[in-house]
Amino acid sequence: MTSAINTEGLTKDYGQHRGIFDLNLEVREGEAFGFIGPNGAGKTTTLRLLMDLIRPDHGRASILGMDTQRDGVKIRRLTGYLPGESPEYPNHTGERIIDLLAHLRGGVDPRRVTDLAKRFDLDLHRKYRTYSHGNKQKVWLIQAFMHDPQLLFLDEPTTGLDPLMQQTFRELIKEARERGATIFLSSHVLPEVQEICDRIGVVHDGSLRQVGTMDELRISHVHRVDATVATALDAARLTKIPGVASVLVSDHHLQCTVTGTMEPLLEVLLPAGVVTLDSTEMSLEEIFLAQYGQPAQP
Amino acid sequence: MDSPRSRSLAPWAFRSHLVGMLAFGLGFGASAAILAPSYVAAAKALAGGLQALAAAALPVAQSFEFLTGPVDRLDTVGGYLSYKTYPDIALLMAIYAAIQGTQVIRGSETKGVFDLWFAAGRTRTAIFRDRVSAFVGALTVIVALTYVLTVAGGALAGVSLAGPALGQCAAVALVGLVGFGFGLLVSQFFTAARTAAGVTCAYLVASFFIANLSNDLGALTFLRYLSPFYYYIQARTLAGTPFDVAAMAVLVVGALAAGCAALWLYLHRDSEGVSVTGSRHTRPVDYTFRPSVVSRRDLWLNWIAEQPLGVASWAIGIGAFTAVEAAVVPSAIRLVDNTGGQLKQVLARHLAELTPNQYLSFFMTFAALLAAGFMVAQVARWASDASQHRVEVMLTQPVSMWRLLVERAVTVLVLAAVIGLAVVVGTWIGTLIGGYSVSFAGLLRTFLDIVLLNFAIGGVGLVATAVFRSAAATGVTGGFLVVCFFLTTVAGLLSLPSWTSRPSVFDAFGSPYLSMPLTGSLIYLVALGGIGVLVAYIAMRRGMRIAV
């Protein structure tokens, strides 16, 4: 399988450790790739570099085998882009905006646009300034999907969408994947990424920290453990156990996370007399929070 | 539990006017500070001094009264300033204030910040009071700077203007307040601040001409009472007119009435709503996408199609202006013939014969100024496209940056041609009204020169937009034109060497109606436009490396 996106040492430094640094990433054709991280981690900068809206300080990127800087126009013909920040067209109707962008693409099938408008329940004949936040987002989603692109760059795609419309969005993603499109989705709505994406890249402070499938990211089997024991526990001793983190001891009660095998923890708990033991596998969001200590913000 | 009282927005709102108040205050003041000593310097070159210069300049000045209002006491520095720059200051003050009037409430609603202020605990009345008081503060700063620099200009010219300038600056401030009040009031009836600003400014410009032409309006003379500038004219203390307290009281009452009416309407309407609504009818939801019949793959066509009313307004306005200019040429010639005195002798030394074509050529320089104003308005649109992410969304389509810039340049040329055509048609109509023949070769040269002038200004605007990507681009382009204008006028007044005014685009514009501009000037205009596109491209590319 060939690469849809390939970056080598891609760096954009805005100073004060803002930007993206030494990004080496490969996204395969037909894959749905989630790019997650907290605000300011470098997600949007990466997307803008890939769309050639900004130029890197170092490194290079290719999309569908073409250089992002040299073949930008060819690439954009094959891609759809949902901007993280909505442009303002206060005096245009939704139809007029789509019409303009469709013409710049050399025309699109009007039935496709009508179908997308129906599915998103968007009246195309109202002025953009009268649209709600969610309806504005629908305009940009329609323009991203209207030409059935081979590769979709989506920056926070479900911002402002109600649950029904989020479902419609997921259906569109599914259809795009069925026809072989590649999805590059930047988000901090982790359940959404978890549901849609095959592989996930975690970016933090401008660096790509982890890349893998959901299973690979969970390969270390991070569990949250809630336990009650008969005798008092030594918190200091618990924190020294390999794989145990976020230890919270209150009287005879323990809360912690365990990465990998439970055996070392159980060796300490069993002599203390386990009364109750509850262990749940952590979601992607919880892993993210545990590792990077920053809550995901809408 | 008691929550802390919400604090006034006024300090923040005042700071938001900082750039505007400094630009207008220093700009207005600088024009007076430069012109006052320049006029005295020019008078020294004549044997009779100021008296002789005034006698020579009066006929021409009077032929332009429709632009300046009544001309008095040109033999004094104050009278000269009152005729030469203060009419523009009063008009621009009113227009700036009117635009701010539409912005302070309606603009903040459109931008969504009103909701935040309201949610933060400010009442509607408090928001209104905060924003109005902040603008009144800004207006005071503008007028104070104008006053101080006018007095400084007088001192450089060797006269004291401290007393005379006070009354006239107060009148300017009151005209500004009326403009602000009208802007506030009109914006209650429109959902878009820009539309309200357009309507208010159209009224102010029309009322400016009505006031200046009030003696020639016949049965419509009563219209002058609806013009704030009519009352302003009654307090031109720089020209020796006594400060008319009653006229100033009318301005105060007008501003207060407009402001109070605006407040009442604002308190009785929905946020982001309008005070008068038409009948509501429900329309079924329409999902159907119908591509436009006329294919718009070209960006320049889209950009022009986005502003039909704006382009039409400018073209009609400039066409009407040139028609009036051309129509008054015979009257101006008669005035100079009858009362020109020394001016006629001076002109006769340089020109074989004073012909309508020579007058028309002189008047065309005003049309060039308006065409330049149109181009600044275009630059404002480009800056808005950049700051509101519309350029970015274009560049995420299969559109290269180079294509974007080239199509901008095409837009400039096409719109410049529209404006040039308006000048040609307006002049032709004016000559028909004036009853004299027109040089079609001269009109063609003027048309081409206006296109080139706008191309050059467009080049500067493209660079400014690529560098600043904000409203600052408009200010830089406008500033460039102001500098060009001063270079041309000051060099002429002070008899400076010709190279000092050569960088001015207005100098390069020349007198196309009479003869083709110099080859060097044409090359300069073409180069400014062409190099502007290239530099803008480089600046945008560089911007990709530094943009956040």
- Is B282 within 8 Å of chain A by CB? no
Distance from CA of A42 to the nearest CA of B (A): 11
Give residue-wise pLDDT tens across range B338-385: 655 555 665 555 555 667 788 788 878 888 888 998 999 899 999 989
B267 and B354 part of one domain: no
Distance from CA of B401 to the nearest CA of A (A): 9
The domain of B237 spans: 1-274
The whole-angstrom separation of Cα B483 and Cα B504 is 8
Say if strands A66-67 and A18-28 run parallel, antiparallel, or are unpaired. Answer: unpaired
pLDDT value at position A298?
A: 37
- Is B290 within 8 Å of chain A by CB? yes
B306 and B270 part of one domain: no
Helix (H, G, I), strand (E, B) or coil at A193: helix
Alpha helix segments (H runs only) across chain A: 43-50, 72-78, 94-104, 110-119, 133-145, 163-178, 190-196, 214-217, 235-239, 263-269, 284-292
Topology alike, domains A3-214 and A222-292: no
**Which residue in B390, B396, B541 has the most chain A C-beta atoms within 10 A of its own C-beta, making it the best mutation to test that interface?**
B396
B261 and B325 part of one domain: no
Do B389 and A77 make contact, defined as CB atoms within 8 angstroms? Answer: no
DSSP element (H, E) containing B448 = helix B440-468
pLDDT along chain B (548 residues), means of 10: 72 90 92 89 81 80 79 90 92 94 89 82 90 96 96 93 94 97 94 85 89 79 91 91 92 96 92 70 84 77 86 89 84 67 56 71 84 91 89 92 92 94 93 88 92 94 90 89 84 74 88 86 92 90 58
- Is B192 within 8 Å of chain A by CB? yes
B453 within 8 A of B525, measured Cβ to Cβ: yes
For A44, which residue in chain B has the nearest alpha carbon? B548
Do B286 and A123 make contact, defined as CB atoms within 8 angstroms? Answer: yes
pLDDT value at position A295?
A: 45
Domain count within chain B: 2
Distance from CA of B305 to the nearest CA of A (A): 11
pLDDT value at position B118?
A: 84
Give B225's contacts (C-beta < 8 A, 6+ positions apart).
none
Sign, CA dihedral B57-B62-B65-B66, equals negative
Q: State in Å, rounded, how far the first CA of chain B is from the last one.
A: 43
User: Smallest Cβ distance to B285: which of A81, A123, A129?
Assistant: A123
Helix (H, G, I), strand (E, B) or coil at B414: helix
**Which residue in A58, A82, A103 has the most chain B C-beta atoms within 10 A of its own C-beta, making it the best mutation to test that interface?**
A103
B304 and B256 part of one domain: no
B420 and B366 part of one domain: yes
Q: Which residues of B touch A100 (CB under 8 A)?
A: 296, 302
> Residue A143: pLDDT above 70?
yes
Distance from CA of B274 to the nearest CA of A (A): 14
CA dihedral A200, A203, A204, A208 (to 10 degrees): 110
For A56, which residue in chain B has the nearest alpha carbon? B545
B91 and B188 part of one domain: yes
Give B24's contacts (C-beta < 8 A, 6+ positions apart).
B92, B93, B96, B142
Q: Tokens 């038409």 identify what position?
A: B278
How many secondary structure helices (H) and strands (E) does chain B include? 24, 0
Please return the burial class of B280, using the count of CB atoms within 10 Å of its CB with bins 0-12, 13-18 and 19+: exposed
For B392, which residue in chain A has the nearest alpha carbon? A53
Is the backbone of residue B466 left (phi > 0), alpha (psi -120 to 50) or beta? alpha
Give B392's contacts (C-beta < 8 A, 6+ positions apart).
A53, A83, A87
Which one-letter amino acid corresponds to residue B499?
A: W
pLDDT value at position B259?
A: 96
Alpha carbon B52 to its chain centroid, in Å, reads 32
Residue B284 lies inside a defined structural domain of this protein: no
Do B397 and A76 make contact, defined as CB atoms within 8 angstroms? Answer: yes
Residue B374 lies inside a defined structural domain of this protein: yes
The whole-angstrom separation of Cα B164 and Cα B154 is 11
Give residue-wise pLDDT tens across range A74-93: 999 999 999 988 898 888 89
Question: Does domain A222-292 match CATH 3.30.70?
Answer: yes
pLDDT value at position B122?
A: 85
Q: What is the DSSP string of B300-313?
A: HHHHHHT-HHHHHH
**Considering only CA atoms, which of B366, B503, B316, B309 is closest in space to residue B63?**
B366
**Which residue in B292, B309, B397 has the most chain A C-beta atoms within 10 A of its own C-beta, making it the best mutation to test that interface?**
B397
pLDDT value at position A296?
A: 39
Q: Which residues of B touch A57 (CB under 8 A)?
A: 545
pLDDT value at position A31?
A: 95
B269 and B385 part of one domain: no
Give me the residue spans of the domains in chain A: 3-214, 222-292
Residue B293 lies inside a defined structural domain of this protein: no
Query: How is residue B226 annotated by DSSP?
Result: G
Q: Which residues of B touch A83 (CB under 8 A)?
A: 389, 392-393, 396
Q: Which residues of A touch B548 (CB under 8 A)?
A: 14
- Is B195 within 8 Å of chain A by CB? no
B358 and B500 part of one domain: yes
B393 and B425 part of one domain: yes
B361 and B236 part of one domain: no
Residue B281 lies inside a defined structural domain of this protein: no
DSSP element (H, E) containing A5 = strand A3-15
The whole-angstrom separation of Cα B100 and Cα B108 is 11
Token representation of residue B228: 């704030």
In angstroms, the Cα distances linking B180 to A18, B11, B111, B305, B334 are 43, 19, 20, 31, 40
For A142, which residue in chain B has the nearest alpha carbon? B289
Homologous superfamily (CATH) for A3-214: P-loop containing nucleotide triphosphate hydrolases (3.40.50.300)
Enumerate residues 372 to 391 of chain B having a beta carbon within 8 A of any beta carbon in chain A: 388-390
User: Smallest Cβ distance to B389: which of A52, A83, A122?
Assistant: A83
Domain boundary among the residues B239, B259, B274 is at: B274
